[in-house]
Amino acid sequence: MVDAPAVGQRVKVEVDSHNGPTTVEGVALHPAAKNHVTVKLVNGYNASYPLEDVQSIEILGSTTTPTVASPVAVGTNDSLPRVRILHTGGTIASKVDYATGAVVARFEPEELIASLPELTTLANIEAVKLGNMFSDDIRPQHWNSIIQASKQAFEDGCDGVVVTHGTDTLHISSAALSFAWAGKGETPPGRIAFVGSQRSSDRGSSDASENLLSAVHWAAHGPAPCGDAGDGVVVVMHASNNDGVCAVYPGVGVRKLHSSRRDAFQPVNCEALAMITIDNGTCSHILEKRYEESLAKTDSRPICQQPTMYETSVRIAQFVAGPWLHSEEIEAIVLTGVQAIIIQGTGLGHLPIEDPGKDAPENTKLWRALTRCINREIPIVVTNQCIHGPVDMNVYSKGRKQMEMGILGHGIVAAPDTVVVKVHWALSNRMKIEDAVVANLCGEGSNLLRS
């Protein structure tokens, strides 16, 4: 049995596999299992083999990491729009750490431009680094930073803004900026597009390049947002698992619905606004019919000069309705000083608060706990854990009982995450929650609804 190579060495490995003799080249990683050799291949994928099956390992080079392209100065073309990329991190700006095999957020904004020169044919590109973090770690203070940076970009004369962002909470941040710029009946001065990628930019299957090209194209050449159709801020990602077409989704009407597919983002109770086709680095877009009609018939909103911000001290508790929801959890969270409670209801927005068989006293206790919250003026908002479809508490007596209690949420069609952001925005801007929940502020309430 051969000895395992040192991590980071470039190697050529000959293996007697079940498919016959195989030769692979790449960079040695920490082994995926004991007595195995794991190699990062040039296409970005990992290959692991038992050492007992390895016939030979040839060292091709010393321990190294891939060469990073040097930042390049981007020339100015007066005929092109001006787009500023706000870099927050995430997989679109990640590379493989060849010492560990892990994906790390370390791609600088200048590298994004240097690695994708086609960007300079779409717009005059600027890049600002706000952070280099995975989206799991983003909180309201980071939304505020993005809001301020986008405001500065427009004040500096930019036509559009692109926010590179990790995908796990990208739809939450896009909703946050949507309400910040358009929640008060206005619209941003230009186009704002959030973009991410499901696979790091140095993988052969990466979606980063096409997503970024499409986002910059939209920020530079998309229609002026009307604000009513959820287009104040958009999300641009792959339309399918295949290359060549990216979708433009309302920033308040999209959700990540798959952990790994390149078309992980899908609209919730709405449709895409447009499709962007990428052909050898050249982009073009086609507006969806309903969005085109919305642009034509919508009365123009005033341009927002001062986007609203988020109070970082706001506390919102979230629960999921079901067999495990008990009054004790509600009462415990109230003691922490939460300003609102969001519960993802079952079906049309129902909660386990009735005991018709007199064998589930937990339900009665939960009803009492929620009633006490409402009496204390702590808003209770029900969303739909089905994701798609409305909250409709008029259909069954259970729902009507909830409305009589003072529970909010009837008529909601937005995804649960968008509703939480909306409640946070309302609390931050001194708007009554009961008014905010029923209002269609920027397309989240009726944006191109499906039947």
| 91 annotated active-site | yes
Say which residue the tokens 């702590």 belong to: 378
Catalytic residue among 38, 91, 308, 383: 91
Percent helix, strand, coil in the chain, to 5, is 25, 25, 45
**Bridge partner list, 85:** 127, 162
**Bridge partner list, 21:** 16
Supply the DSSP symbol for 334: H
Q: Find the distance separating the first CA and the last CA of the chain, reported in whole Å.
A: 64
Question: Is 316:433 a contact under the CB 8 Å cutoff?
Answer: no
3-state secondary structure of 339: coil
Question: Is 149:130 a contact under the CB 8 Å cutoff?
Answer: yes
Catalytic residue among 159, 168, 228, 263: 168
3-state secondary structure of 165: coil
| 167 annotated active-site | yes
Catalytic residue among 40, 151, 256, 398: 256
Catalytic residue among 88, 164, 167, 383: 167
Spatial distance between the Cα atoms of 225 and 219, rounded to a whole number of angstroms:
10
| 256 annotated active-site | yes
Residue 287's nearest CA partner among 238, 233, 225, 349 is 225
What residue type is assigned to position 422 of the chain?
K
Residues labelled as active-site residues: 91, 167-168, 256
